Amino acid sequence: MENRRLIVGISGASGAPLAVETVRQLREMGVAVDLIVTRGGEMTLREECGIRPQELAKGCEAFYTQEEIGAGPASGSFAAMGMIVVPASMKTVAGIACGYSDNLLLRAADVTLKERRRLVLLARECPFSAIHLRNMLELTKMGAVIVPPVMSFYNHPQCIGDMTRHIVCKALSLFDLEPQGYKRWEGMET
Ligand SMILES: Cc1cc2nc3c(=O)[nH]c(=O)nc-3n(C[C@H](O)[C@H](O)[C@H](O)COP(=O)(O)O)c2cc1C
């Protein structure tokens, strides 16, 4: 990985607590965060977490709105190890899948793909339509990793916070990071 700097995009799907947890874990690991929040992401952060993007951005390396199309992450020469979009709405998934980069989050994801860097999408909708599934298949073929925030039980979660932490740990481990407290599956006791 190029350095310990990651672009974090937040779009307007349900799951804003996943974004808050992602930023928390990255800061805990000493990874610099470049935060991009779409207008939809701003709405879900307010609705689901009661916070503004600027509050989440405290302690991040940089914060950008979707309009800042000329900012660092819009260029391939911006040195980041990759990008995570958490959560990724179906609109954002569609935009990335067809290279329609009309905001900074979409452009940064487009750049991440063209530079062959790791792109992880916590794509969230329920249920998925054929359009959603097709776009996610296309993105997978292009090298992105689709990590839908689905429930897991093998780690014996006690509360929704455990579920949130687990899926974020799993997503961040895809960047060769070692999130603290990640309960990996180590096989069943026989
Ligand atoms: C509270 C709330 C929850 C939403 N949840 C989802 C969702 O889970 N998945 C999704 O694809 N869109 C969801 N949407 C719709 C998106 O926010 C909308 O399509 C928006 O245009 C996405 O734009 P963005 O990807 O640029 O943020 C939700 C909207 C609101 C207000």
Q: Any residues with Cβ below 6 Å from ligand 1, and which? A: 11-14, 38, 40-41, 43-44, 47, 89-92, 124-125
Question: Ligand 1 centroid to 142 CA: how many Å?
Answer: 24
**Ligand 1 pocket, mutate which of 44, 98, 103 (most atoms under 8 A from CB):** 44
Please state the rounded mean pLDDT for residues 48-66: 97
Q: Please, what is the Cα angle at 155 between 151 and 157, to 5 degrees?
A: 65
- At 38, list the tokens: 């779409």
Query: How confident is the model at residue 172, as a pLDDT?
Result: 98
Q: Domains of the chain, with CATH numbers? A: 5-173 (3.40.50.1950)
> Please, are residues 11 and 92 in contact by the beta-carbon 8 Å criterion?
yes
Query: How confident is the model at residue 151, as a pLDDT?
Result: 95
Cα 101 to Cα 93: distance, rounded to the nearest angstrom: 11
Question: Ligand 1 centroid to 111 CA: how many Å?
Answer: 23
The pTM score is 0.97
Query: How confident is the model at residue 185, as a pLDDT?
Result: 87
- The runs of H, that is alpha helices, within the chain are 16-28, 39-49, 53-56, 90-97, 104-114, 130-141, 160-173
**What would the pLDDT profile of 11-33 be if each residue is shown by its tens digit?**
999 999 999 999 999 999 999 99
